[in-house]
Amino acid sequence: MTDTLANTLDNNSKRSHRRTRMTVHERLQCIFDEDSFTEIGAERMHESAAFGLASKRHAGDGVVTGWGTVNGRPIALSATDFSVLGGSLGRAHAAKIHRIMDFALDQKIPYVCINDGGGARIQEGVGSLDGYGGIFRRHVKLSGVVPQISVIAGPCAGGAAYGPALSDFVFVIDELSETYLTGPAVVKKVTGEDVTGRSLGGAEVHSQRSGLAAFRCTDEEQCYEDVRYLLDILPSSCATPAPTWSRTANAEQSQERNNLILDSIVPESPRAAYDMREIFTLIVDDGDFLEVHEEWAPNLLIGFAHIDGRLVGIVGNQPSVLAGALDANAAEKGARFVRFCDCFSIPLLTFVDVPGFLPGSAEEQGGVIRRGAKLLYAYCEVTVPRVQVIVRKAFGGAYIVMDSIGLGANLSLAWPTNEIAVMGAEAAVEILHKRRLKQSSDVIGDVQQLADEYRNEVMHHTYSAERGFVDQLIDPSQTRGYIKRFLSAVSAGPHYGEDRKHGNHPQ
């Protein structure tokens, strides 16, 4: 890194702080319980002399590492200090991160990484690249053993971008977060494209379009509060269960009201849209549903909640977006979440209202078969307790993929509004009665009549239950009770061993 670049980055850091950007130690104060953080390697410095580095040696070498507690539970952390050489990573800087990641693995405690730096330290050459290699290898070793959370709290360029991508959950912050493999200057030089850091890799880009960011926050205070909440509900490792939460005092009275609402929440028209989130909030404890990847692939909802104090992962189609159809992005989104829940023995609830996979050449050429298979594979692979709730339509391969009994769901429940079939009735009769409809003088009327007959024959609400593809037909108001009893029956849960089941590979 040249002196000019280092000075520019330092000056940018000062300007950023005037824009309410926190210092590294202010960030630690927001995350950890008061006076709980223990720093290690505070005096570590780089040993390089090339390109003027001999006169730029700083205690800590641009990264703070250590451990502390969040609501009394231990957490390991590394946090880049942008004010030191632009937060660039050299060998000593990397060695500190390696050590705290090894500590997280040995002690089986969550690892949090706050990223705010310009990538590999150019002056140290291949040594800095090797340092990133060690970080990436440790991310993979930690994967599936402890939760990994990355915060992008400033620039995160080049090799630094891959650490967050290997984490379980990435937080981005409006106005601050920028992450990309090649920055605007390089893009301009190579492709001629004139872009800003924010348009190339800002918070909106990664929360809405790339799918890298699981959570998007308006400012740093909100971000670290949300990080604390996520750490609070997740298990510390694959070897320990998630903490049990207690409900509020008036929870049962609220649930009685919720059950009344549930019985009429699905519109009478099978084509009418509604918000699946409302169903989640009416069923889970205190209506608290922590949505993950809220802005990316919104036709599939994923997130965490509690049922009777027990943490569960929830997956559900969203009828208000693309009618709830699955596409390639939604499949990848769901697959990684399902794998995370399996890694940490979190039971899964899957709510189904899906007309199929989104048709079209863009989806087919975009790899919907290959990427859709990821969700299929994820459900087939998991060993955690699983409940499927068929809310309304469940058609074709999308029905299978959404954790059907055929894939191994432990319990399949269906509401009276369920319709399960290879495809919708109108589409089915156009294939079954193609010749008749060609000769019809009233195609629309005949299609409607034949569709009604088809529904009555193979799509009525008891059809699948009568043939064993649904375990129980229930009223919507009974859903929470059935799930509670199921979770109680599997309360011992899977075996919590020392070894991970599997890692949680990138999207």
Active-site amino acid positions: 158-159, 397-398
Helix (H) or strand (E) holding 187: helix 184-191
Give ∠ CA 313-319-320 in degrees, rounded to 5. Answer: 110
The span from the CA of 97 to the CA of 64, in Å, is 9
Six-digit token pair at 327?
Answer: 């596409």
- The β-bridge relationship of strands 310-317 and 290-292 is unpaired
Give ∠ CA 98-104-110 in degrees, rounded to 5. Answer: 125
Q: Kindly report the number of other CB atoms within 10 A of residue 487's CB atom.
A: 19
Tell me the CA distances in angstroms from 370 to 328, 339, 366, one per residue in order. Answer: 8, 17, 9
The residues with which 67 forms a beta bridge, in sequence order, are: 38, 76
The span from the CA of 268 to the CA of 448, in Å, is 17
Per-residue 3-state assignment (H helix, E strand, C coil) for 276-311 = HHHHHHHHCHHHCCEEECCCCCCCEEEEEEEECCEE
Nearest alpha-carbon partner for 75 in 37, 128, 119 = 37
User: Hunting for tokens 């006076």 — which residue is that?
Assistant: 35
Q: What's the chain's length in residues?
A: 507
The span from the CA of 392 to the CA of 420, in Å, is 8
DSSP symbol at 208? I
Q: How far is CA 489 from the centre of its chain?
A: 28
Burial class of 251 by CB neighbour count within 10 A (0 to 12, 13 to 18, 19+): middle
